[in-house]
Amino acid sequence: MAGPPPDVAAARSAVRTVLGDLPPGARVLVACSGGADSLALAAATAFVAAREGWQAGAVVVDHKLAPGSGEVAARAAAQCRDLGLDPVLVRAVDVRGGPGGTGAGGPEAAARSARYDALAEAATAVGAAAVLLGHTLDDQAETVLLRLARGSGIRSLAAMAPVRGLLRRPFLGLRREQTEAVCRAAGLEPARDPGNAADGPWRAADGSALRRAAVRERALPALVAALGPGVVPALARTAEQLRRDGDLLDAQAGALLDGAVVAAAPLTLDAATLAAAHPALRSRALRTAALRAGAPPGALAAVHLDALEALVTGFHGQGAVQLPGGVEARRRCGRLALHPAGTPPGGGTE
Ligand SMILES: Nc1ncnc2c1ncn2[C@@H]1O[C@H](COP(=O)(O)OP(=O)(O)OP(=O)(O)O)[C@@H](O)[C@H]1O
Protein backbone atom coordinates (compact mmCIF):
# COMPACT_ATOMS: atom_id res chain seq x y z
CA MET A 1 0.00 0.00 0.00
CA ALA A 2 1.38 3.40 -0.98
CA GLY A 3 2.09 5.76 1.91
CA PRO A 4 1.34 9.46 1.96
CA PRO A 5 3.35 11.80 -0.29
CA PRO A 6 6.82 12.51 1.19
CA ASP A 7 6.03 16.08 2.22
CA VAL A 8 2.86 14.99 4.02
CA ALA A 9 4.81 12.24 5.79
CA ALA A 10 7.52 14.75 6.77
CA ALA A 11 4.96 17.18 8.18
CA ARG A 12 3.22 14.47 10.22
CA SER A 13 6.50 13.11 11.51
CA ALA A 14 7.59 16.62 12.57
CA VAL A 15 4.38 17.09 14.57
CA ARG A 16 4.70 13.65 16.15
CA THR A 17 8.28 14.40 17.19
CA VAL A 18 7.65 17.81 18.72
CA LEU A 19 4.65 16.53 20.69
CA GLY A 20 6.26 13.23 21.61
CA ASP A 21 6.37 13.95 25.35
CA LEU A 22 2.62 14.58 25.68
CA PRO A 23 0.45 11.85 27.22
CA PRO A 24 -2.65 10.57 25.41
CA GLY A 25 -5.59 12.87 26.12
CA ALA A 26 -3.41 16.01 26.20
CA ARG A 27 -4.94 19.01 24.46
CA VAL A 28 -3.02 21.04 21.89
CA LEU A 29 -3.98 24.12 19.87
CA VAL A 30 -2.76 24.96 16.37
CA ALA A 31 -2.27 28.71 15.87
CA CYS A 32 -3.68 29.11 12.37
CA SER A 33 -3.60 32.27 10.27
CA GLY A 34 -5.03 30.54 7.19
CA GLY A 35 -1.66 30.80 5.42
CA ALA A 36 0.01 27.76 3.87
CA ASP A 37 2.36 27.08 6.78
CA SER A 38 -0.19 27.00 9.56
CA LEU A 39 -2.88 25.36 7.41
CA ALA A 40 -0.45 22.52 6.64
CA LEU A 41 0.27 22.37 10.37
CA ALA A 42 -3.45 22.13 11.10
CA ALA A 43 -3.81 19.24 8.63
CA ALA A 44 -0.79 17.34 9.95
CA THR A 45 -1.79 17.88 13.58
CA ALA A 46 -5.39 16.75 13.00
CA PHE A 47 -4.08 13.54 11.45
CA VAL A 48 -1.44 12.76 14.05
CA ALA A 49 -3.56 13.73 17.07
CA ALA A 50 -6.33 11.34 16.03
CA ARG A 51 -3.81 8.48 16.04
CA GLU A 52 -1.88 9.43 19.17
CA GLY A 53 -4.96 10.24 21.26
CA TRP A 54 -4.26 13.96 21.64
CA GLN A 55 -7.16 16.41 21.50
CA ALA A 56 -6.27 18.96 18.87
CA GLY A 57 -8.04 22.29 18.44
CA ALA A 58 -7.10 25.55 16.78
CA VAL A 59 -7.04 29.25 17.49
CA VAL A 60 -7.29 31.96 14.84
CA VAL A 61 -6.43 35.53 15.78
CA ASP A 62 -8.21 38.39 14.03
CA HIS A 63 -6.00 41.47 14.33
CA LYS A 64 -8.85 43.67 13.03
CA LEU A 65 -6.31 45.81 11.22
CA ALA A 66 -7.83 45.75 7.76
CA PRO A 67 -11.30 45.52 6.25
CA GLY A 68 -12.23 41.90 5.69
CA SER A 69 -9.94 40.52 8.40
CA GLY A 70 -12.98 38.96 10.08
CA GLU A 71 -13.79 36.98 6.92
CA VAL A 72 -10.18 35.82 6.58
CA ALA A 73 -10.29 34.59 10.18
CA ALA A 74 -13.69 32.93 9.73
CA ARG A 75 -12.48 31.12 6.61
CA ALA A 76 -9.37 29.84 8.41
CA ALA A 77 -11.53 28.69 11.31
CA ALA A 78 -13.90 26.84 8.94
CA GLN A 79 -10.94 25.09 7.30
CA CYS A 80 -9.69 23.99 10.73
CA ARG A 81 -13.14 22.64 11.65
CA ASP A 82 -13.33 20.76 8.34
CA LEU A 83 -10.03 19.12 9.24
CA GLY A 84 -11.66 17.84 12.44
CA LEU A 85 -9.95 20.20 14.87
CA ASP A 86 -12.05 20.91 17.93
CA PRO A 87 -12.52 23.37 19.53
CA VAL A 88 -11.71 26.08 17.00
CA LEU A 89 -11.51 29.48 18.67
CA VAL A 90 -11.46 32.86 16.96
CA ARG A 91 -9.98 35.63 19.05
CA ALA A 92 -10.36 39.24 17.93
CA VAL A 93 -7.69 41.44 19.46
CA ASP A 94 -7.22 45.15 19.88
CA VAL A 95 -3.77 46.02 18.65
CA ARG A 96 -2.59 48.93 20.79
CA GLY A 97 -2.68 52.12 18.78
CA GLY A 98 -4.64 50.47 15.94
CA PRO A 99 -3.69 51.02 12.31
CA GLY A 100 -0.73 53.38 12.12
CA GLY A 101 -0.15 52.89 15.85
CA THR A 102 3.22 53.94 17.10
CA GLY A 103 4.20 51.66 19.96
CA ALA A 104 7.91 51.30 20.73
CA GLY A 105 8.33 48.46 18.20
CA GLY A 106 5.78 49.78 15.69
CA PRO A 107 2.45 48.22 14.76
CA GLU A 108 4.04 44.93 13.71
CA ALA A 109 5.42 44.40 17.21
CA ALA A 110 2.10 45.48 18.76
CA ALA A 111 0.22 42.96 16.59
CA ARG A 112 2.67 40.20 17.47
CA SER A 113 2.40 40.94 21.15
CA ALA A 114 -1.43 41.02 21.03
CA ARG A 115 -1.37 37.75 19.08
CA TYR A 116 0.86 35.95 21.56
CA ASP A 117 -1.29 37.21 24.46
CA ALA A 118 -4.39 35.88 22.70
CA LEU A 119 -2.72 32.50 22.06
CA ALA A 120 -1.75 32.22 25.73
CA GLU A 121 -5.26 33.16 26.84
CA ALA A 122 -6.83 30.62 24.47
CA ALA A 123 -4.47 27.91 25.73
CA THR A 124 -5.47 28.66 29.32
CA ALA A 125 -9.16 28.72 28.38
CA VAL A 126 -9.08 25.18 26.96
CA GLY A 127 -6.31 23.77 29.18
CA ALA A 128 -3.92 23.23 26.26
CA ALA A 129 -0.50 21.78 27.02
CA ALA A 130 0.98 23.25 23.82
CA VAL A 131 0.31 25.84 21.14
CA LEU A 132 1.76 24.95 17.74
CA LEU A 133 3.17 27.59 15.38
CA GLY A 134 3.84 27.13 11.66
CA HIS A 135 7.27 28.76 11.37
CA THR A 136 9.37 26.95 8.76
CA LEU A 137 13.06 26.52 8.03
CA ASP A 138 12.76 29.44 5.58
CA ASP A 139 11.37 31.69 8.35
CA GLN A 140 14.27 30.60 10.56
CA ALA A 141 16.87 31.38 7.86
CA GLU A 142 15.32 34.82 7.33
CA THR A 143 15.46 35.48 11.06
CA VAL A 144 19.13 34.49 11.28
CA LEU A 145 20.04 36.70 8.32
CA LEU A 146 18.11 39.67 9.72
CA ARG A 147 19.82 39.31 13.08
CA LEU A 148 23.27 38.84 11.53
CA ALA A 149 22.75 42.04 9.59
CA ARG A 150 21.89 43.87 12.80
CA GLY A 151 24.87 42.49 14.71
CA SER A 152 23.84 39.89 17.28
CA GLY A 153 25.18 37.56 19.92
CA ILE A 154 24.63 33.83 20.23
CA ARG A 155 21.30 34.12 22.02
CA SER A 156 19.84 36.22 19.24
CA LEU A 157 21.36 34.23 16.36
CA ALA A 158 19.90 31.05 17.85
CA ALA A 159 16.67 32.58 16.48
CA MET A 160 13.40 30.72 17.11
CA ALA A 161 13.34 27.84 19.59
CA PRO A 162 11.54 24.62 18.62
CA VAL A 163 10.01 24.55 22.11
CA ARG A 164 9.64 27.53 24.37
CA GLY A 165 7.16 27.39 27.22
CA LEU A 166 3.78 26.53 25.74
CA LEU A 167 4.90 27.33 22.19
CA ARG A 168 6.14 24.58 19.89
CA ARG A 169 7.34 24.91 16.29
CA PRO A 170 7.26 21.51 14.59
CA PHE A 171 8.06 22.84 11.11
CA LEU A 172 11.45 24.49 11.73
CA GLY A 173 12.98 21.67 9.67
CA LEU A 174 10.49 21.93 6.79
CA ARG A 175 10.77 24.15 3.73
CA ARG A 176 7.98 26.56 2.83
CA GLU A 177 7.44 24.73 -0.46
CA GLN A 178 6.77 21.56 1.55
CA THR A 179 3.95 23.21 3.50
CA GLU A 180 2.46 24.35 0.20
CA ALA A 181 2.68 20.78 -1.07
CA VAL A 182 0.94 19.52 2.09
CA CYS A 183 -1.92 21.97 1.47
CA ARG A 184 -2.21 20.87 -2.16
CA ALA A 185 -2.25 17.19 -1.15
CA ALA A 186 -5.05 17.88 1.36
CA GLY A 187 -7.03 20.00 -1.11
CA LEU A 188 -6.63 23.02 1.16
CA GLU A 189 -6.51 26.45 -0.36
CA PRO A 190 -4.42 28.78 1.80
CA ALA A 191 -5.20 32.45 2.12
CA ARG A 192 -2.68 34.46 0.16
CA ASP A 193 -0.14 35.61 2.75
CA PRO A 194 -2.80 36.57 5.33
CA GLY A 195 -0.26 38.41 7.46
CA ASN A 196 0.60 40.87 4.73
CA ALA A 197 -2.85 41.09 3.18
CA ALA A 198 -4.51 41.77 6.51
CA ASP A 199 -1.90 44.25 7.55
CA GLY A 200 -1.57 46.40 4.45
CA PRO A 201 -0.86 50.04 5.12
CA TRP A 202 -0.02 49.78 8.82
CA ARG A 203 2.57 47.15 8.07
CA ALA A 204 4.25 49.47 5.57
CA ALA A 205 4.87 51.90 8.43
CA ASP A 206 6.89 49.32 10.29
CA GLY A 207 10.60 48.96 9.58
CA SER A 208 10.93 45.40 10.82
CA ALA A 209 8.22 44.10 8.47
CA LEU A 210 9.86 45.89 5.56
CA ARG A 211 13.25 44.47 6.48
CA ARG A 212 11.82 40.95 6.64
CA ALA A 213 10.14 41.41 3.27
CA ALA A 214 13.45 42.67 1.84
CA VAL A 215 15.25 39.60 3.19
CA ARG A 216 12.56 37.25 1.89
CA GLU A 217 12.16 38.79 -1.53
CA ARG A 218 15.63 40.13 -2.31
CA ALA A 219 18.47 39.23 0.06
CA LEU A 220 17.92 35.48 0.37
CA PRO A 221 17.20 34.96 -3.35
CA ALA A 222 20.40 36.91 -4.12
CA LEU A 223 22.38 34.74 -1.71
CA VAL A 224 20.88 31.58 -3.22
CA ALA A 225 21.76 32.84 -6.71
CA ALA A 226 25.33 33.61 -5.65
CA LEU A 227 26.07 30.70 -3.33
CA GLY A 228 23.55 28.01 -4.19
CA PRO A 229 20.37 26.69 -2.56
CA GLY A 230 22.25 25.21 0.41
CA VAL A 231 22.55 28.66 1.93
CA VAL A 232 19.00 28.59 3.35
CA PRO A 233 19.35 25.33 5.31
CA ALA A 234 22.88 26.41 6.29
CA LEU A 235 21.54 29.57 7.92
CA ALA A 236 18.92 27.56 9.80
CA ARG A 237 21.58 25.04 10.86
CA THR A 238 23.63 27.90 12.26
CA ALA A 239 20.73 28.78 14.54
CA GLU A 240 20.48 25.18 15.74
CA GLN A 241 24.21 24.95 16.51
CA LEU A 242 24.24 28.27 18.31
CA ARG A 243 21.23 27.26 20.38
CA ARG A 244 23.20 24.32 21.76
CA ASP A 245 26.24 26.48 22.48
CA GLY A 246 24.05 29.17 24.00
CA ASP A 247 22.36 26.63 26.28
CA LEU A 248 25.76 25.53 27.61
CA LEU A 249 26.95 29.11 28.16
CA ASP A 250 23.66 29.99 29.89
CA ALA A 251 24.01 27.00 32.22
CA GLN A 252 27.61 27.96 33.10
CA ALA A 253 26.65 31.60 33.58
CA GLY A 254 23.80 30.49 35.86
CA ALA A 255 26.29 28.55 37.99
CA LEU A 256 28.59 31.61 38.09
CA LEU A 257 25.72 33.81 39.23
CA ASP A 258 24.63 31.32 41.90
CA GLY A 259 28.22 31.23 43.20
CA ALA A 260 28.44 35.03 43.30
CA VAL A 261 25.20 35.64 45.24
CA VAL A 262 25.79 36.85 48.81
CA ALA A 263 22.22 38.02 49.45
CA ALA A 264 18.97 37.46 47.62
CA ALA A 265 17.02 40.64 48.48
CA PRO A 266 18.20 42.99 47.29
CA LEU A 267 20.20 40.78 44.94
CA THR A 268 23.81 41.27 46.07
CA LEU A 269 26.78 39.76 44.25
CA ASP A 270 30.43 39.33 45.13
CA ALA A 271 32.29 41.51 42.61
CA ALA A 272 35.59 39.57 42.84
CA THR A 273 33.87 36.30 41.89
CA LEU A 274 32.38 37.94 38.83
CA ALA A 275 35.61 39.74 37.92
CA ALA A 276 37.55 36.45 37.93
CA ALA A 277 35.15 34.81 35.44
CA HIS A 278 35.40 34.72 31.65
CA PRO A 279 33.81 37.85 30.15
CA ALA A 280 31.38 35.75 28.08
CA LEU A 281 30.03 34.17 31.26
CA ARG A 282 30.17 37.38 33.29
CA SER A 283 28.09 39.36 30.78
CA ARG A 284 25.45 36.63 30.78
CA ALA A 285 25.43 36.42 34.57
CA LEU A 286 25.05 40.21 34.85
CA ARG A 287 22.20 40.20 32.35
CA THR A 288 20.40 37.46 34.29
CA ALA A 289 20.99 39.37 37.54
CA ALA A 290 19.46 42.51 36.03
CA LEU A 291 16.43 40.53 34.86
CA ARG A 292 16.10 38.90 38.26
CA ALA A 293 16.10 42.32 39.87
CA GLY A 294 13.18 43.31 37.64
CA ALA A 295 14.66 44.94 34.53
CA PRO A 296 12.38 44.14 31.57
CA PRO A 297 14.23 41.96 29.00
CA GLY A 298 13.21 43.98 25.92
CA ALA A 299 14.53 47.21 27.41
CA LEU A 300 17.89 45.93 28.62
CA ALA A 301 20.47 47.16 26.10
CA ALA A 302 24.23 46.81 25.59
CA VAL A 303 24.80 50.22 27.16
CA HIS A 304 23.25 48.99 30.44
CA LEU A 305 25.28 45.79 30.45
CA ASP A 306 28.48 47.74 29.69
CA ALA A 307 27.79 50.00 32.69
CA LEU A 308 27.23 46.94 34.92
CA GLU A 309 30.45 45.40 33.58
CA ALA A 310 32.29 48.62 34.46
CA LEU A 311 31.02 48.39 38.05
CA VAL A 312 32.66 44.95 38.23
CA THR A 313 35.88 45.25 36.22
CA GLY A 314 36.43 48.99 35.82
CA PHE A 315 35.37 50.33 39.19
CA HIS A 316 36.84 53.70 40.12
CA GLY A 317 34.25 54.91 42.59
CA GLN A 318 31.54 55.67 40.01
CA GLY A 319 27.97 56.08 41.22
CA ALA A 320 24.92 53.93 40.75
CA VAL A 321 23.89 52.58 37.34
CA GLN A 322 20.25 53.10 36.40
CA LEU A 323 18.72 50.12 34.60
CA PRO A 324 15.34 49.90 32.84
CA GLY A 325 12.37 49.15 35.06
CA GLY A 326 13.67 51.45 37.81
CA VAL A 327 16.37 48.97 38.86
CA GLU A 328 19.47 50.57 40.35
CA ALA A 329 22.85 48.84 40.56
CA ARG A 330 25.45 50.10 42.99
CA ARG A 331 28.84 48.84 44.10
CA ARG A 332 29.76 49.02 47.74
CA CYS A 333 32.40 47.21 49.81
CA GLY A 334 33.29 44.80 47.01
CA ARG A 335 29.67 43.93 46.43
CA LEU A 336 27.31 44.73 43.61
CA ALA A 337 23.72 45.29 44.79
CA LEU A 338 20.78 45.47 42.40
CA HIS A 339 17.83 47.28 43.93
CA PRO A 340 14.42 46.78 42.35
CA ALA A 341 12.31 49.87 41.74
CA GLY A 342 10.89 51.31 44.92
CA THR A 343 13.46 49.90 47.34
CA PRO A 344 15.74 52.42 49.02
CA PRO A 345 19.32 51.64 47.94
CA GLY A 346 20.81 53.39 51.01
CA GLY A 347 24.27 54.95 51.50
CA GLY A 348 27.25 55.74 49.25
CA THR A 349 29.71 53.66 47.26
CA GLU A 350 32.88 51.95 48.46
N1 LIG B 1 -3.65 35.61 12.78
C2 LIG B 1 -3.09 34.52 13.29
N3 LIG B 1 -3.84 33.67 14.02
C4 LIG B 1 -3.29 32.55 14.57
N5 LIG B 1 -1.99 32.22 14.42
C6 LIG B 1 -1.21 33.03 13.70
C7 LIG B 1 -1.71 34.22 13.09
N8 LIG B 1 -0.69 34.82 12.43
C9 LIG B 1 0.40 34.03 12.61
N10 LIG B 1 0.09 32.96 13.36
C11 LIG B 1 0.98 31.86 13.76
O12 LIG B 1 2.33 32.31 13.72
C13 LIG B 1 3.05 31.60 12.71
C14 LIG B 1 4.01 32.54 12.02
O15 LIG B 1 3.29 33.58 11.43
P16 LIG B 1 3.93 34.50 10.33
O17 LIG B 1 2.88 35.39 9.80
O18 LIG B 1 5.15 35.09 10.93
O19 LIG B 1 4.48 33.43 9.29
P20 LIG B 1 3.92 32.82 7.93
O21 LIG B 1 5.11 32.12 7.37
O22 LIG B 1 3.24 33.87 7.12
O23 LIG B 1 2.85 31.70 8.42
P24 LIG B 1 1.48 31.27 7.70
O25 LIG B 1 1.82 30.87 6.28
O26 LIG B 1 0.92 30.13 8.50
O27 LIG B 1 0.61 32.51 7.80
C28 LIG B 1 1.98 31.05 11.78
O29 LIG B 1 2.44 29.92 11.06
C30 LIG B 1 0.88 30.72 12.76
O31 LIG B 1 1.16 29.49 13.44
CATH number, domain with residue 198: 3.40.50.620
| 68 lies in the same domain as 126 | yes
Ligand 1 pocket member 91 (CB < 6 A): no
User: Residue 167 CB: number of other CB atoms within 10 A?
Assistant: 19
Same domain flag for 223 and 296 = no
79 CB less than 6 Å from ligand 1?
A: no
Q: pTM (2 decimals)?
A: 0.86
Q: What is the pLDDT of residue 298?
A: 81
Where is the domain boundary, 205, 227, 249?
227
Instruction: Classify residue 235: in a domain, yes or no.
Output: no
Of 276, 259, 254, 264, give the one whose Cα is nearest residue 338.
264
The answer to whether residue 32 scores a pLDDT higher than 90 is yes
- Do 211 and 268 reside in the same domain of the chain? no
Distance 147 CA to ligand 1 centre (A): 20
205 and 150 belong to one structural domain: yes
Average pLDDT over residues 164-175: 98
Counting atoms of ligand 1 from 1, which one is nearest the CA of 138?
Answer: 21
- Greatest mean pLDDT among 68-72, 106-110, 273-277 lies in 273-277
Same domain, 289 and 173: no
Instruction: Give distance in angstroms: CA of 263 to centre of ligand 1.
Output: 44
pLDDT in tens, 257-314: 999 999 999 999 999 999 999 999 999 999 999 999 999 988 999 899 999 999 999 9
ipTM over 0.90: yes
Check residue 216 and report its DSSP letter.
I
* Banded model confidence at residue 199, pLDDT cuts 50, 70, 90: very low
Task: Count up the domains in the chain and report the number.
Answer: 2
Which band of pLDDT confidence, cut at 50, 70 and 90, is reported for residue 25?
very high
Residue ranges making up the domain that contains 273: 264-339
State in Å: Cα 32 to ligand 1 middle: 6
Say which CATH number the domain at 282 has: 3.30.465.60
* In the predicted structure, residue 159 carries a pLDDT above the cut 90: yes
